[in-house]
Amino acid sequence: MGMVVMFDVVGTLFSFRRVRLAIAPYHPYPDLVRRLCFSRLWQTAFATTLAGGYASIDELSASTLGQVLSLSGIPMGALRQVLAAFGDLEPRDDAAACLARLTATGSTLLALTNDSVESTRSMLAKAQLDRYFDDVVSADEARAHKPHPSAYRLALRRGGVGPEAAVVVSTHAWDVTGAAAVGMNTVWVSGVERLWPLPGGPPGRSVERLGGVPEAVI
């Protein structure tokens, strides 16, 4: 049996281009607002988890994104369009080739997401990427958002392996850091964040694009 490879989904396998396009009619700097939406959403999710509570991403999105749009001078009438765009992301150009190559080597693939199982399965199916995955593991099931250890430990149990036989692939430094903290191998896909934002360097391997992941894992 090959390595169990656990992919982050939103931001890693799927881009935010459609979110930017949804914001563009309302703001001259749609990428700036899109980044603020995403960072504020995860800030809220992390704070809820650290405080010992839990709310799903669907629950958090409406209030958090509504706040960001309001602060950015965007009418609240745009919220429905932005939320719809977050639920209709498009896969990165090299996602399918990356997953196909890993599957061909005998690796087991899991999706490990802070989103719900239902929306993640729907997104993967629409992009025809669902055939590569053996399972989808959600923070909803762990009742704690990544990078809380509970999410990674649940994924390890579902994958039936110890941390040394699993690798997390993510564009998010906080995700990579969380996985490394429980002893998992990691691959940071650096093309989105560009520079490692935390003290020190990435705990595992780094590649610029998804196309480099199979070599890093194998």
Q: What is the pLDDT of residues 43-54, one digit of tens each?
A: 999 999 999 999
Structural tokens at position 154: 């649940």
pLDDT tens digit string along 170-182? 999 999 999 999 9
Res 2: pLDDT: 67
Any residues with CB less than 8 A from the CB of 143 and at least 6 apart, and which?
54, 150
72 near 36, Cβ under 8 Å?
yes
Confidence of residue 3 (pLDDT cuts 50, 70, 90): confident
- Residues forming a β-bridge with 10: 14
pLDDT tens digit string along 71-128? 999 999 999 999 999 889 999 999 999 999 999 999 999 999 999 999 999 999 999 9
pLDDT tens digit string along 114-172? 999 999 999 999 999 999 999 999 999 999 999 999 999 999 999 999 999 999 999 99
pTM for the full predicted model: 0.95
Is residue 63 exposed (0-12), middle (13-18) or buried (19+ Cβ within 10 Å)? Answer: exposed
Encoded amino acid at 213, one letter: V
Q: How large is the average pLDDT for residues 8-33?
A: 95
173 near 197, Cβ under 8 Å?
yes
Question: Would the pLDDT of 1 be above 80?
Answer: no
Q: How large is the average pLDDT for residues 51-66?
A: 92
Q: Is the peptide bond before 214 cis (omega within 30 degrees of 0)?
A: no
> Beta strand 14-15 with 90-91: parallel, antiparallel or unpaired?
antiparallel
Res 87: pLDDT: 85
